[in-house]
Structure 1
Amino acid sequence: MARIAILGCGAMGSVYAGLFAAKGHEVLAFDAWPEHVAAMNRDGLRVEGASGDRVVRVSAATTTAGAAPVDLVVLATKARDVAAAARAIPPLLGPGSSVLTIQNGLGSSEALAAALPSAHVVAGIAGGFGASLKGPGHAHHNGMEKVRIGELAGPATDRLRAIAALWEGAGFRVAAEDDIARLTWEKLICNVTYSAVCALSGKTIGGVMEDPDLWPVARAAGVEAWTVAKARGVPITVADPVTHITEFGKAIPNARPSLLLDHVAQRKSEIDAINGAIPREAEKAGIAAPVNATLVGLVRAREAGFA
């Protein structure tokens, strides 16, 4: 059995922690929410939804200070918190430790590799989970599509395949990939389609798809992201962006994207790493991305009133 640390044990992190612990791995769950940490230590962590329903024991804390090295660190914080989280990782690292960073949007793996010895770092993408926290110590997820992992550069390695085997053994659908950057963009196209529009409207992914006013806006954001990826020379395999984003949405119609959950909780979101990445990348290609730029402006304006 492996010793696994989940750093950022929020909605998605709790799903990871719950399934790993259910298979007998030693799981250390780190999160900044004291009530969540206290509930996990007192009552166990409950994870329910597409993977079943279980309560597992984990060792939870708000800080990594004094922690011993682990085999695998899964960094599951919001993209905006990666730089701060990187400072908490060193106590968890031994010579053979790997750090798998799984965030939405662009830039997290590069930021983490700049803050830590890059040899430790691998990148991941989680799709189709639709996870949320129902309360302290209680996570739910609507789907369970796939976890894809890759080296920051180059094809899959033996190290990567060993990490993939850990995830697969815990019940996840997982793939060790040769080109994680391409796959990151293919997921980003879906993220930008729904994230900002769901947050601004308060609707689920399915609700946006069914709305005759919102769906054209969301669809345009996704198509624009696809256009920017092509202009930047990213070797995406998506031939038809509308089919791509529609199939993604149909798989998890009841899901509420993380941006919406942040707005419900009056928290600032990771809009800059998701929709905000598209205008930045478009500028590098000498083109504009007005749909996503407008959505980013609207989200930022709303978040100006958040704490």
Structure 2
Amino acid sequence: MKIAILGTGALGCAIGATLTEGGHETWLIDRSATHVDAMCRDGLRVDGAGNSTYVSVRATTQASEVGVAELVIVLVKSFHTDAAMRGARALIGPDTTVLSLQNGLGHEDILADVVGRERVLAGKTYVGGVLRGAGHIESGVVGKHTYIGELNGRITPRVKAIAHAFNAAGLATSVSDNIVGTMWDKLLVNVATGALTGITGLTYGQLYDEPLLKEASLAAVTEAIAAAQAAGVKLSMADPEEAWTLAAEGLPASFKTSMLQSLEKGSITEIDFINGSVVRCGQQHGVPTPVNATLVACIKGIERAMADRRREEISA
């Protein structure tokens, strides 16, 4: 299968390396020329399971170099979804399928506006990764599951074919007939740890060693579960402890969430699509979400401080 991954940070590279080694013509598309050049020159360095390997990957900054793909996996940051997909129209042919594996909720509607709803699949992955440098990641693929599905819940030949291709390559994947519920399940995991690590700057090992932060996490997840249930979403978990435990399974103590990685790079985060989604859903269905609203406000405050510092540095 010819696969293009749009947005190859840590997660995109982890999945891309796995699919490449599984025999698929996999293209890693990223706007960072430094990152792409390093991968083209040396291969993608993948650390994981106690060893380090170099994977010879196809990488480019230009979607036009790739041409039409059978499958486009979207993994850009949430706030770049529209612009990234519009800039990658060269990937889209008559039979191209577009699959979002992004964190949070709402990306499928954005993609549908660009390529048509009939092309779009939704999905969630528990694969993890940390970008260590240009062309260098720490990967958490082993033991981590991916779920994909049609937006209408149907089990179609195309979604089964993609799942089969992923599984054959070593990316454990299941087809879901309740992808909205599946997306909320993953959202609960992101709500459990993302904002808290972003605010505190803690790795997973540090986060899971602090009882007070666990209490805050469980409170945020409890709100998210209540909001989802009020919206009629069918979840696979009802106990906040499940999300807290699942978030760290198979990941090293040194692991940093994508939200923390974004802040450490001075970038804005996906908070609006994660905890912000919980707040919006709660508002729509009359469910109070004060913990999530506070977490959103704190992350927004950190982003504001970073922006102010940049302006001061530029004007100095």
TM-score by length of 2: 0.91
* Structure 2 gap segments, 5+ residues each: 308-316
Matched to 1:288, the amino acid is P
| Corresponding residue of 1:135 | 133
Q: Which amino acid aligns with 2:76?
A: T
Matches within 5 A, 1:197-276: 197-252=196-251, 254=253, 255-276=255-276
Distance, in Å, in 2 between the alignment partners of 1:287 and 1:229 is 9
Match of 1:38 in 2: 37
Whichever residue aligns with residue 297 of structure 1, its letter is A
Structure number with the higher helix fraction is 2
Write out per-residue CA displacement over residues 247-275 of structure 1, whole angstroms, 9 at most, x where no aligned residue. Answer: 43354362311001111111111010011
Give, in whole Å, the separation in 2 of the partners of 1:214 and 1:253: 18
Instruction: Provide Cα deviations, 1:128-166, integer angstroms capped at 9, x if missing partner.
Output: x33011111111124531011001112221100000111
2: CA distance between counterparts of 1:139 and 1:253? 14
State the SS of the aligned residue for 1:276: helix
Deviation sequence 1:178-214 (CA, Å, 0-9, x none): 1110011111111111110011111123422321322
- Alignment match, 1:85: 84
Partner of 2:290: 290
3-state SS, counterpart of residue 305 of structure 1: helix
Q: For 1:54 and 1:253, how far apart are their aligned partners in 2? A: 18
Residue aligned with 1:281, SS: helix
Deviation larger for 41-50 or 150-159: 41-50
SS in 1 for 2:237: coil
> C-alpha distance in 1, partners of 2:259/2:89?
29
Which residue type is aligned with residue 289 of structure 1?
T
3-state SS in 1 of match to 2:280: helix
Distance 2:196 2:85 in 1: 30
The letter for the 2-side match of 1:256 is K
Could you tell me how far apart the structure 1 residues matched to 2:76 and 2:10 are? 10
Partners of 2:227 and 2:281 within 8 A in 1: yes
Shift of 1:7: 0.7
Deviation of 1:51 after TM superposition, in Å, equals: 9.7
**Amino acid corresponding to residue 136 of structure 1 in structure 2:** A
2:281 aligned partner: 281
Partner Cα distance (1:216, 1:298) in 2 = 17
Do the aligned partners of 1:206 and 1:249 also contact (CA within 8 Å) in 2? no
Aligned residue for 2:305, secondary structure, equals coil
1:47-79 Cα offsets, whole Å, 9 max, x none, are: 231496432222222121354111111111111
For 1:120, the equivalent position in structure 2 comes to: 119
Query: Which residue is 2:305 aligned to?
Result: 305
Match of 2:102 in 1: 103
Change (3 A) 1:73 1:51: farther
For residues 97 and 180 of structure 2, the distance between their equivalents in structure 1, rounded to whole angstroms, comes to 19
| Secondary structure at 2:275 match in 1 | coil
Q: Which amino acid aligns with 1:190?
A: V
Distance 1:50 1:180, change over 3 A: farther
SS in structure 2 of the partner of residue 210 of structure 1: coil
Q: Does 1:27 align with 2:26?
A: yes
Query: Number of matched residues?
Result: 305
**Moved segments of 4+, more than 6 Å:** none
* Partners of 2:217 and 2:244 within 8 A in 1: no
So what's the TM-score if we normalise by structure 1? 0.94
- Give the superposed CA RMSD: 1.7
Q: Which moved more, 1:240-249 or 1:170-179?
A: 240-249
| Letter aligned with residue 300 of structure 1 | K
Question: Residue 142 of structure 1 contacts residue 252 of structure 1 at CA under 8 Å; is this kept in 2?
Answer: yes
Change beyond 3 A, Cα 1:223–1:206: farther
User: Within 2, Cα distance between the matches of 1:248 and 1:42?
Assistant: 34
The separation in 2 between residues aligned to 1:217 and 1:181, in whole angstroms, is 25
